[in-house]
Amino acid sequence: QMCKTLVLGASLKTNRYSNMAVHRLRAHNIKIEAFGLKKGNIGDTQIKTNFGEFQNIHTVTLYVGPSRQPEYYGEILQLNPKRVVFNPGTENPDFYKILRDNDIEVEVACTLVLLATDQYI
């Protein structure tokens, strides 16, 4: 799958958008990885707590607020994804600039909406 996605900020709580995104991405047969602060599973997707386990990531979809994003800048840049999707509530112009300076596409959009409207890929 060309569009292997890392859900950054994946939550075990079923009412969280990050949790729904994992389910929806899987339903669309998109290969996914999940990073969160707590280990566990969302369906058959394991939440990992170590960035070292991720490779060949095409898209990072962010569910971490702007105040907590700086601690992940280095890891995200190291993954060198094709794009980063900023979901509602994660908008961060400082980070957009850093990503664009590194030739990483910035998409400010809701992953769930992109999937529902077939605009994700």
Judge whether 85 and 114 are in contact, CB under 8 Å: yes
Question: What average pLDDT does the structure give for the chain?
Answer: 96
- pTM for the full model? 0.96
Instruction: Count the Cβ atoms, other than its own, within 10 Å of residue 90.
Output: 20
Amino acid at 7: V
Q: What whole-number distance in Å separates Cα of residue 83 and Cα of residue 70?
A: 17
Q: How buried is 97 (Cβ within 10 angstroms: 0-12 exposed, 13-18 middle, 19+ buried)?
A: exposed
What pLDDT does residue 121 have? 78
- According to the model, what pLDDT value does residue 42 have? 97
CA distance 18 to 13: 9
Q: What is the pLDDT of residues 69-112, one digit of tens each?
A: 999 999 999 999 999 999 999 999 999 999 999 999 999 999 99
